[in-house]
Structure 1
Amino acid sequence: MSAVPQTREQYSAHLPALHLLINLGWHFLPTDEALTQRGSTREVILKARLIEVLQTRRFDYKGEQYPLSPSGIDQIVRQVQALNLAEGLMAANERLYQMLTLGMTVTEFMPDGKKHQPTIALVDWHDAGANRWDVTEELEVLSTHGTHHRVPDVVAYVNGLPLAVIEAKRPDGTHVGQAMVDEGISQQLRNQRHDEIPHLFAYAQLLLAVSHTEGRYGTIGTPMKFWARWREEQFTDAQLGAWKNQPLNADVQTALLAGKPPKLQAYFRQLWAQPQLPTDQDRLLAALLEPERLLEFLRLFVLFDRKAGKVVARYQQFFGIRVLLERINLRRPDGGREGGVVWHTTGSGKSLTMVFLTKALVLHGNTQACRVVVVTDRLDLEDQLSRNFMNSGAFGSAVATKKDGEKAKVGSGRDLARRIGQGTERIMFTLIHKFATASKLPECYNSSADMIVLVDEGHRSHGGETHERMRKALPRAAYVAFTGTPLLKKDKTANKFGPIVHAYTMQRAVEDGTVAPLLYEERVPELTINEEAVNRWFDRITAGLSPEQAADLKRKFANKHAVYGAANRIELIAWDIAQHFSENVKKLDLGLKGQVAMASKLEAIRYKQYLDDTGLVSSAIIISPPDSREGNTEVDESKLPEVQRWWNTQCGQERRNL
């Protein structure tokens, strides 16, 4: 009896979702009216609504405004309907997103006989009231091969385009142990497959799964584990309550309940006559689908990343960037822009936050003239950030190439000085240390207030002279520091860059499921080095010594301070790690692994050597390549620095194995 669970979904999630959306400003479109506008279950756009909106569009020509001709409207409708899924869902979706954000160019023949090609906006991003907001339910869509239909619970249309798809599920899952919204997410993922209804998802920008007490969101291609929760930082529960308890127009209520079982109609008429408290489902729907919020979110907080696919911002990125934009638009007494510190814990998407910020700066009218300088203190971080910017479209969406990313990286101190004083690049990447050379050159100066400096891991390398040289070269720039490291109240980062403008702590990230929880167990080397490991090490090292020499050596190591300073301290700790892992983890035979973070590449190499020597565990090193330009004083290979020699040996072994 499929009607029973469907009714339960309508009680708990489906109708409450529609009710709130209507109160947020969406027009309820009954299923049969939506089908009439679509033409058939194979079509997913509301063609009549799109045409209606396009008839209101105007373009300028020689100082006068003109409406779109029927031919111009037809050109847009045909392009919108003809999204090509042959290259895959992601490519089609990105093409539609470009149409939404960049507008569409049409050819118009003007009264003077000349041809004109205006760009027409599909969506008015600045005035929510200039768009048409429709929401419908039970949208029956024919599958690609015409073999069956799928029926998403709720679909939200902007100007006739299905931009949001919602699966509303009852709180108790149909499978034992399944999370409330997992079933809805699973359906969203299934429906995107090539033999299902991908033509609906070619248009969809936001996907939601709600179940009364819970809600998560993603976009096309988002794996289930990355569907995110939302914590609202603007709309209060009082505001949500006002939206939720706003009385429905009688005609709208009748349309919403039409065709539903009498018992269900009676239940909701009684429910909506009483005050209701907001649920987590309400919080997610309002956070993402309140019309003005949806326009802001889709315009500024969507990226197409070549590695990660399509990415939509998480709430800490959304609100952090909002605060930053407000901060950057404040002025200091010297006319420069204000800056600050963004403290988002490691693993929360800090690099993408920087990309989202750059996109927002480019699109906001009062920051469009700004140039962005991204400053790091390590070569591997510079490479990582430039890749993230390039992959995510910061250099021009689909046209960006690896060459664009490389060109944005500053090659030398002299190159940095030239770019600061005379360059026009919108984005450039540099190491902080290059300011030491650049600042000595006269051209390394730019007093513009439209320079914005983004500093990655701002808690490091910015306490001394090099930081001051950067400030001197760019005296009126806005300085924004990003860090994932917990900050103390008197931390110098805040003193150098301004106040902490937004924080996302490790505790909050763990609660959100953004990062895995970390459990710390302190093992202080001089107190907790395993006695057996120490004895085994002493037996090895004193094998060739006299009893007197061995006793003398043991006396030296009995001093806890000597252990810290001993050349073989790493070997002691390696033995302790190996034995602890072997006894407590390896014997479980669960395939579990461990990770040891080192202070340097050299330490990593030495730890591996000693771990291998124990014979208790196997290990591998993960490091970035050493800079082959540095540290070479001899031609003799045996005298190369240890790290570089190890790297060359490993690379040679890999080549031989190919």
Structure 2
Amino acid sequence: MTRAPVHGVVTRSALGWLQRLGWQYLAPNRRCALRGDPRSALLEGRLREHLQHVRFEAHGEHWPLDAHGIAQVLAMMANGAWRRGSQAGNAALLTVLQEGVCVPQRLPDGRAVQARVPLVDWAAPSNNRWDIASAREEGQPALDAVPRVDALVGYVNGLPLVRLLCVERDAQGRWGRDGAAIAIHHQQLAADTPACRAPLLLALDRRGGRYAWRGTPAEGWVRWREQGWSAAAAQRLRLSLPSPGSGARAGDGHVLRAVHAPLLAGVAAPGRLLALLGGFVHTGADGRQRVARAAQFFAVQAGLAQVRRIDADGRRGSGHLQLAAGAGMALTWHWLVRHLRRDPSLRHCRVLRVQSRPASAPASAGPGLVAFMANGRGTTLQTTPGTLQAWLRRRDAGHADDELIVLMDAHLLAGQPAWLEHARQRLPRAGWLCLGSGPLPAAVPADAMGPLLYACTNADALADGLLVPVYHHPLVPAAPRPPLPMRTATDAAEPAAAPASRWSSTIAQHLRDALLHTERDLRALLLVADAEAMRRQQRAFARDEALHSATIGPAAECTPAEQQKAQLLIASDLHALPYLDARLALVYLDTAVDGPALARLVALLNRPHPHKHCAWLVHLPGVPAPWQDAAADGWAPQSLQALQAGLPGQHRRLRAVLPPTGNLDFHACCDYLGPRWSVDARGQQRDLHRLRRRRLHQRVTGFGQQLQAALLAPPADGGSGEADTPPQRYRYDLHFCSLLRDVVSTEACEQHLGVAEDVRIRHWARERAPEVRDAGWDYLHTAASTPANPRREADALHSQLRYRLDTGTTAGAARLQLQRHLRSLLVAPGAPTERLRQLQGLLARQQLRDRPVEQAPALADAPPLVVACHAAIERIAGAPTDAPQCRLHRALAERLAAAIGTAHAAHPRAPHLGLADLQRRLRPALAALLLPAQCEALLAELPVLLTTAPTGDGAP
């Protein structure tokens, strides 16, 4: 078999791009021949071919591996990393790939050595064997209501390193999204199936795709943004790359989709894949491994390329890198230092890491820096700006050494930018790299750190799924409390606690509107000026008992258990906060913050979470907002007014799904969006209104999320509460469309397509629905007013029967017969009433067929041999699924018991002769009733059943 099997559109596109990038298609029969053991994930034949060409170095010469060494490597790989769990297997596989395998070898002269065998040629990717094969057995069972997911496995020298999950259409023609492939992968990962052994995973759909490392949670899958990529670049790549010579047809060029090119060329290209596996995988303290994102990878590559340059005056290149807050700067620093230490042209350089608070600063920072500058080639040192300034002041002359690379955080330049110019003058030949979240501070000249090498803006990070958007707005003061009676005025709290008590009520109400009423597992943070203000706020919240709050930080008085359960955390020192979990979605500012503190706040807020689609930064009245001056540059949080400005457009998109009458007639909307079955030109059953319902489903949830966030800002009408304002109309339409979505989803049997976020939006919309009554809402109170519509009822019954086909356990022949019957009802001319009557009869027959199976006749009065035969039949053929099968198993058990009794009576003293005679007579009879495997299994049970036969005449 030399040609590729028939795949879906997405699978053929991915396969075509991979072949043009250098992967060779592996036919299914060739893959089975190279695999050897069907239970193994390795292509042992391909790995053996690679090992036969490997030469290890010993005593100044290069030697080939002997047959015993090759067998040892194959055994180690087959039984080692691939047989372990997810985290242990990832770590072991990465170590083996980077360091190779050590096996004992004996040279021809008798000397014994330890040979380190590389499994991958890192220096020359073209020297490896790159195979891509179809693995349909690693997908999911075929179901009509679930999109088909085709699996492709990429092998490098026989090692399965890449697994691609390509999401196609389902049986009803609906396109699936990459989330379906991610869900299937995590189900297989939980079951620890051999299908998910590859470390690098890609999920593709017709609109693009995402990638992740094995063990990454579902919300951690991200997109790849290639630098300078566009549709024109994809077209140039399509035309420039050679068409594969085998495994694809000559006309497959039109199948290549441009949306798949950035991810596949950026992650799965041979050179890029080895670069990611070799130097951009990090194992965290939790044991989970993380692969670099596009922004981290390109930032490191741009920084390395710049410091490699040396101009005519002997100066190393300098520049600055800009990443979005929360895009992974810590790992970017880690990989940058790691590559500086590994690069052959830079490993001899000194690397000075300047941080405000280094994690591993020595006790004597000054002498350590002196020794490092004097004789520290090939080492890395972490220091502070003060220590570096003190060392520069004590020197009489500059340090004219081009073997120094200084890595600096960008926020260190905001306080005293003049010292940077002085430091660069005293270190004229050093290379400077500055990395920060957002652009350089305004006080620092644009060319102070050299050119901009790489920038990942907030918009790019949001589009790639790395971050969630962050909005800011002021907090509206709550209505004043009624005055206290005169007799209790003396018992009030001290004057210092009165403002805190007032703001605690306002914050509690705002927090309930923002998070608690949305049914999401999120939390908030209140940042105050000092520890005294933190304790005062805690007492105010405890007095109101409106929500559960806790203090956090150096002066905190709450236990970690209380902090974990708290809905609101109160802190006074932002830099002393731990790296909170991703549930943080709301920050209240009761004190002014500078640029670095703002960047840290945004980094804490914009971490993605399944329950979080946006985050808020709220400042109390009187607190300045430092981001307003730089809000136009695209790096600072956006104003909530920008979100409100987009509401009319989203509202128009939601109204566009409804019929021309809009929300004036609910029943007309149901007819417009409900199921409407027909037969297309190819003879397939299609629901003509399926795309309308899908658009309604998505737009209701999206508009509800945007409306939730927009209503947190101060109302434009000053809180008048009139029913004619835009927010009231938006709420009304959201409530109407939410109810309409539920009704048409029930008719079309599409409730399974909903997710938890849809339920949260539905509850919020109905809780906040305005008190409005008109003719369109009469269906809520009078169910009998629904007009009779035979065609609509017939289409709803058709959808119900199709759903039973999708999710039921009907046998293949019965499923095919039901599909043909449904199609014939659509094609046949006739009144809708007649079609409805036939569908009702068909549904009644299906319900009768799907009733619980009748129990088998009681075997209490049966002889022991019949009971033993019946148990053996059920153990081999399975439990009966209907009453005829019960009767068949009972009759077969009785006939089998009679034959065993006859054979035992004919050869009472020669059991082996009785067994041979019994097998010879039963084999043709059982072959007509059972499958071949079941027949052989039942014949194998005969020796045990013969021992159960009675010692008399044998008649049962």
- Considering the TM-score relative to the shorter chain, is it more than 0.5? yes
Q: Is the 8 A contact 1:376 1:457 kept in 2?
A: no
**1: CA distance, partners of 2:283 / 2:478:** 50
**How far apart are 1:170 and its partner, in Å?**
1.3
Aligned partner of 2:306 in structure 1 is 327
Closer/same/farther in 2, CA of residues 416 and 580 from structure 1, 3 Å limit: farther
**1: CA distance, partners of 2:51 / 2:418:** 58
Residue by residue, what CA displacement relative to the aligned partner does 1:533-574 show, whole Å, maximum 9, x if unpaired? 7x979x99x979xxxxxxxx9xxxxxxxxxxxxx99974984
| 2:455 aligned with 1:507 | no
Aligned partner of 1:27 in structure 2 is 24
Aligned partner of 1:392 in structure 2 is none
**1: CA distance, partners of 2:186 / 2:544:** 47
Figure out how many residues of one structure are paired with residues of the other and give that number: 545
Q: Which moved more, 1:326-335 or 1:22-31?
A: 326-335
Aligned partner of 1:253 among 248, 254, 264: 248
Q: Is the 8 A contact 1:136 1:154 kept in 2?
A: yes
Aligned partner of 2:510 in structure 1 is 581
Residue by residue, what CA displacement relative to the aligned partner does 1:349-385 show, whole Å, maximum 9, x if unpaired? 11111112122222222122233332222x3xx34xx
Aligned partner of 2:275 in structure 1 is 296
Aligned partner of 1:37 in structure 2 is 34
Aligned partner of 1:429 in structure 2 is 382
Amino acid at match of 1:479: W
Q: Secondary structure at the match of 1:10?
A: coil
Aligned partner of 1:364 in structure 2 is 343
Q: Secondary structure at the match of 1:16?
A: helix
Closer/same/farther in 2, CA of residues 616 and 351 from structure 1, 3 Å limit: same
**1: CA distance, partners of 2:345 / 2:534:** 48
**2: CA distance, partners of 1:603 / 1:334:** 56
How does 1:446-457 map onto structure 2 within 5 Å?
447-457=400-410
**2: CA distance, partners of 1:588 / 1:343:** 37
**2: CA distance, partners of 1:174 / 1:214:** 22
Q: Secondary structure at the match of 2:467?
A: coil
**How far apart are 1:449 and its partner, in Å?**
2.6
**2: CA distance, partners of 1:133 / 1:141:** 20
Q: Is the 8 A contact 2:81 2:90 kept in 1?
A: no
**2: CA distance, partners of 1:339 / 1:425:** 19
Aligned partner of 1:492 among 432, 444, 449: 444
Q: Secondary structure at the match of 1:272?
A: helix
**How far apart are 1:185 and its partner, in Å?**
1.1
**How far apart are 1:588 and its partner, in Å?**
3.6
Amino acid at match of 1:506: N
Q: Is the 8 A contact 2:413 2:444 kept in 1?
A: no
Aligned partner of 1:389 in structure 2 is none
Aligned partner of 1:164 in structure 2 is 162
Q: Is the 8 A contact 1:578 1:614 kept in 2?
A: no
Aligned partner of 2:480 among 532, 536, 556: 532
Q: Is the 8 A contact 1:205 1:298 kept in 2?
A: no
Amino acid at match of 2:248: Q
Amino acid at match of 2:306: R
Aligned partner of 1:241 among 212, 230, 235: 235
| 2:334 aligned with 1:355 | yes
**How far apart are 1:250 and its partner, in Å?**
6.3
Q: Secondary structure at the match of 2:472?
A: coil
Give the RMSD, CA atoms, in angstroms: 4.2
**How far apart are 1:157 and its partner, in Å?**
0.4
**How far apart are 1:442 and its partner, in Å?**
6.0
Amino acid at match of 2:10: A
Q: Is the 8 A contact 2:527 2:572 kept in 1?
A: no
TM-score (norm. length: structure 1): 0.71
What fraction of aligned residue pairs are identical, expressed as a percent? 26
Aligned partner of 1:622 in structure 2 is 552
Amino acid at match of 1:498: G
| 2:184 aligned with 1:187 | yes
Closer/same/farther in 2, CA of residues 601 and 113 from structure 1, 3 Å limit: farther
Residue by residue, what CA displacement relative to the aligned partner does 1:395-446 show, whole Å, maximum 9, x if unpaired? xxxxxxxxxxx4x656533433334434467333223233354445569986
**1: CA distance, partners of 2:516 / 2:213:** 42
Aligned partner of 2:212 among 209, 218, 232: 218
Amino acid at match of 2:469: P
Closer/same/farther in 2, CA of residues 103 and 175 from structure 1, 3 Å limit: same
Q: Secondary structure at the match of 2:203?
A: strand
Q: Which moved more, 1:39-48 or 1:605-614?
A: 605-614
| 2:336 aligned with 1:338 | no
Aligned partner of 2:470 in structure 1 is 518
Amino acid at match of 1:301: F
How does 1:43-82 map onto structure 2 within 5 Å?
43-82=40-79
| 2:292 aligned with 1:313 | yes
**How far apart are 1:516 and its partner, in Å?**
1.6
Q: Is the 8 A contact 1:229 1:512 kept in 2?
A: yes
**2: CA distance, partners of 1:129 / 1:432:** 46
**2: CA distance, partners of 1:536 / 1:499:** 62
Closer/same/farther in 2, CA of residues 418 and 16 from structure 1, 3 Å limit: same
Q: Secondary structure at the match of 1:230?
A: coil
**2: CA distance, partners of 1:454 / 1:62:** 41
TM-score (norm. length: structure 2): 0.51
Q: Secondary structure at the match of 1:532?
A: coil
Amino acid at match of 1:253: A
Aligned partner of 1:272 among 249, 252, 258: 252
Q: Secondary structure at the match of 1:167?
A: strand
Aligned partner of 1:127 in structure 2 is 124
Q: Secondary structure at the match of 1:79?
A: helix
**2: CA distance, partners of 1:509 / 1:142:** 31
Residue by residue, what CA displacement relative to the aligned partner does 1:253-298 show, whole Å, maximum 9, x if unpaired? 36xxxxxxxxxxxxxx7x636x466332232122211212222222
Q: Secondary structure at the match of 2:184?
A: helix
Q: Is the 8 A contact 1:605 1:643 kept in 2?
A: no
Amino acid at match of 2:155: Y
Q: Secondary structure at the match of 2:161?
A: strand
| 2:80 aligned with 1:83 | yes
**2: CA distance, partners of 1:157 / 1:587:** 49
**2: CA distance, partners of 1:412 / 1:82:** 49
| Greater Rg over alpha carbons, structure | 2
| 2:194 aligned with 1:197 | yes
Q: Secondary structure at the match of 1:476?
A: coil
Amino acid at match of 2:526: V
Aligned partner of 1:630 in structure 2 is none
Closer/same/farther in 2, CA of residues 75 and 583 from structure 1, 3 Å limit: closer
Amino acid at match of 1:484: S
**1: CA distance, partners of 2:200 / 2:181:** 14
